[in-house]
Amino acid sequence: MAMITNMKVLLAIDASGFSEAAARAVVKQFRAESTEVCVLHALQWQRAIPSCFAFARGDTYGPQFCSAMKQAREQAAALVANIADVLRASDFRASTEVVEGDPLRAILGRAAEWGADLIVLGSHGRTGLDRILFGDISEKVAQRAPCSVEIVRTSSQDRAVAFGRIGAIDGDSVQRR
């Protein structure tokens, strides 16, 4: 009798619809009984906290900032829980993790620490000035990862939907590196 080996998939997500497409790619490609998925989100404070705090003065700044940080953590926890629930509905073993800090370091560090066999993440498909201003985490992960990386890409029409919200995205295509 052949022994089923467990595949460890690190699913790196953000708050865009691209993460849902990446989760669907995992469900389509892997067998639930032999795949363990860790859903990871890196919480960047400079993006999670409103820019108005940069100009805050007085005694109310501290409590307001703490409240905003708490809300950002709760939203991140809900985000990974929702994606994990999608995976669990398809009988995958899924754990969640929210890490505070740089997404690139968080993804690479968790993949190495956990012993991931594969990192799966969605791509925003940024080009030109957007890529220079906002970066391309998926490309950097693919270049530096301690394991294989799968970048899930969507059509340009689906990207327009994904930037607005996590929603139904069809027509996924996958790029492997």
Kindly provide the residue ranges of all beta strands, DSSP E only, lying in 31-169, ordered along the sequence.
35-43, 93-100, 118-122, 148-153
| pLDDT string in tens for the chain (177-residue length) | 454 569 999 999 998 878 888 999 999 999 999 999 999 999 987 665 666 665 666 666 677 778 888 998 999 999 999 999 999 999 999 999 999 999 999 999 999 999 999 999 988 655 544 444 445 788 899 999 999 999 998 755 444 444 444 443 333 434 434
pTM, 2 dp: 0.77
Cβ–Cβ under 8 Å, residues 32 and 82: no
- Summarize the chain as % helix, strand, coil (round to 5): 50, 20, 25
Tell me phi and psi for residue 11, to 5 degrees.
-100, 105
